[in-house]
A and B are shown apart, each in its own frame.
Chain A
Amino acid sequence: MTVMTRRTFGKLTLGAAGLAAPLVYSRNSWAAGKQIQIGIWGGSQGEFVKKRIIPAFEKDFDCRIVAEEGFTLANVGKMRATKDNPKFSVMFIDDVAIPICKQEGLIAELPKSDMPALANLYPRFGFDGWGSALAISVAGLFHNTEVTPPDSYAALWGPEYAGKLKLVSPKNTPSVFFLIVAAALKTGKPFAEAQYQIDGAFDKVAEIKANVQNLFDNGPQAANEVAQGQADIGLLELSKYVYPYTAKGAPVTMSFPKEGSFAGNNCQVLVKNGPNQDLAVAFMNRMLEPAVQKAFSEYAFTAPPVSGIEFSNETLKYLAYPVEEMDKRGLFTPDWEFINANRSAWTEKMNGIFAV
């Protein structure tokens, strides 16, 4: 039916052996022949999960992991549509959606005793046991390397940036970061307080309109356009969409103004009543193991949510790691429950302001 057989994957896993945990084979025999479906992200992270992590795991456990690349909202939609008879066992979603999934009864609590790798997880990425982060990106500005970025977001409202900015579309999660920035600038308060005052900040949002060349909803494409000089600066986007270009030599990179940066947390959740839960838990544990986390982070330029991983200085340029570095950079995680409740109203207001 399809050529994406297990064997072909095997050929692709060059050097993937290092990702296999040093476990004794016989201990995993319970999983032999089992299969689960998981929903992952697209992008370079998805590529790495599919080509490197899964083949090694399948080999160790003699099982089959069928991974479908998607995105957070689609993955939540699939969990909703198959709630009574789940098709997926593990879902990769952004932290923004975890409260929703929990509320709707789509996900199960992680069984701590069966997941030794949870021991090293920073508590802030544990979501009270309803999932774990897998990768932390930092959201900030991305700009053409020939442009000197401002050290404060406030400068982007100035006339010298007229028509030179690309703004993230209200459809995308980083749009919320932009609203928090606008509220912070208006009120002079830090992000943690400003996020509750977004409703009063839309006059500030409207003021930037003259500087915005257009809205973008595909981060990699926007980064590509900035690299080509079609715009000077894009705001805001997660580092994982931008740094892969930087590393390839494209003239685009990120900068993080003094007001602080945002954490974009890519997470995994366990689908409630999903097939073969034991295998699903084993896979989620594998995702958090140090060897996997190191390679995954280096490939996608994201920070691991677990402690004790060593990176080269070259890599550390792109990562906010370890947790002390995150705090130093003022990495902020919004109150998603509050934000989700207001998001659609804000999206409408944004559409009203930026409608052509």
Chain B
Amino acid sequence: MTATVSPWLKAIVGVILLIVVAPLVVPLLMSISDTAYIVFPPRGFTLKWYGEVLANPEARGSFLFSLELAAIVTAISLALGIPCAAGLTRYRLPGQDAILGLILSPLIVPLIVTGVALLQLFSLLGSRATFAQLIIGHTVICLPYVIRSVSASFVLVDRNLEDAAAIMGAPPHVVATRVIWPQVRPGILAGAIFSFIVSFDDYPISMWLADGDHFPVPLYLYTVIERSFDPSIAAISSLMILFALLLVLVIEKVFGISLARLAS
């Protein structure tokens, strides 16, 4: 805490941050270019591309749809993932490794394969409910992230603390809320963020399951790139970057969890 940081370390961290952040600045700069096509460095200054994107009902529709999808998927992934992670880490169950392997398997297979397999399955089942299909498909790929991150925090839970609380008179629900929850909260939040972002950014699953009425942002972005490569693409990318940034800030403010703690 009070240890002095060597200037070398500071310099290295600075360089790493620069490498990470610099590519994110490029679309921001390209998005203000007053040209009909993308140039870097930008020529002139205009915000018209943002206006164009924000006024475009297709773009807005896709963005809102992706938000809705990611929020629902995250809620379901947490509802399924937290009890599952708790069960897998706190009890010895027969076939535990097999269960974990099964849950994580969607991350081992290329997502594009998972996506086409799901489409085939839904087709055989005769399902036409695209929205439900997308929710299931995204949950399949978000759940592993939630379970991995929540499991990691459950593994670190000190069981002695629960015993101590119970001995001091805390009934099980109080132990859960006042002792276990504070210990696993960072892991759950990290899982929620991963889940939200994985769903929000997903292309390969959505590509198979989406239809014209349920068209998430990454698919939209791809079609726009094919339409014309003008700075409105950079504007959309910038908006997505800013949105992710906003998400992180909101989480820090609302939940009082610093990113440093999430990373640790």
Contact = CB atoms under 8 A, between A and B. Distances in A.
Given A3-B60, A43-B226, A46-B226, A66 B212 contact: yes
B230 to A, nearest CB: 8
A2 B229 contact: no
Interface stretch (B32-40, B235-243, B246-254): B32-40
B119 interface: yes
B119 A78 contact: yes
Nearest to A221: B229
Contacts of A3: 57, 60-61, 64
B136 to A, nearest CB: 15
B211 A66 contact: yes
B208 A77 contact: yes
Contacts of B38: 224
B227 A220 contact: yes
Contacts of B225: 42, 218, 220-221
Interface string B198-235: 00000000011011111100010011111111000000
A165 interface: no
Interface residues of A, number: 43
Contact of B37 (A66, A85, A227): A227
B181 interface: no
A47 interface: yes
Nearest to A224: B229
Contact of B214 (A2, A85, A223): A2
A2 B64 contact: yes
A223 B57 CA distance: 27
B228 A67 contact: no
A46 B128 CA distance: 23
Given A1-B213, A81-B119, A87-B123, A42 B37 contact: no
Contacts of B210: 68
B65 interface: yes
A332 interface: no
Contacts of B226: 41-43, 46, 71, 218, 220, 241
Given A66-B213, A70-B207, A81 B123 contact: yes
Contacts of A78: 119, 208
Interface string B89-121: 000000000000000000000000000100110
B23 interface: no
A42 B65 contact: no
A77 B123 CA distance: 13
A221 B64 CA distance: 27
Question: Chain B's interface: helix, strand, loop or mixed, by majority?
Answer: helix
Interface stretch (A91-99, A109-117, A172-180, A245-253): A245-253
B143 to A, nearest CB: 22
A87 B128 contact: yes
B72 to A, nearest CB: 11
Contacts of A8: 57, 61
B120 A82 contact: yes
Contact of A42 (B39, B124, B131, B227): B227
A71 B208 CA distance: 11
A84 interface: yes
Interface in A1-49: 1-4, 8, 12, 37, 41-44, 46-47
B163 interface: no
Interface string B63-80: 011001000000000000
B9 to A, nearest CB: 34
A84 B124 contact: yes
Given A3-B57, A84-B124, A250-B36, A46 B223 contact: yes
A39 to B, nearest CB: 9
Contact of B124 (A47, A70, A85): A85
B119 A82 contact: yes
A248 B36 contact: yes
Nearest to B57: A8
A11 to B, nearest CB: 8
Contact of A224 (B37, B64, B123, B208): B37
B27 to A, nearest CB: 13
Interface in B169-216: 207-208, 210-215
16 contacts: A2-B64, A2-B213, A42-B227, A44-B228, A46-B227, A50-B212, A69-B223, A78-B119, A85-B123, A85-B126, A220-B229, A224-B37, A228-B37, A245-B37, A245-B228, A249-B36
Interface of B: 36-39, 57-58, 60-61, 64-65, 68, 116, 119-120, 123-124, 126, 128, 131, 207-208, 210-215, 219, 222-229
Given A1-B214, A66-B213, A68-B211, 12 more contacts: A1-B65, A3-B60, A37-B211, A81-B119, A85-B123, A218-B225, A220-B226, A221-B225, A227-B37, A244-B228, A245-B36, A248-B37
5 tightest A-B contacts by CB?
Answer: A42-B223, A82-B123, A43-B226, A42-B226, A3-B61
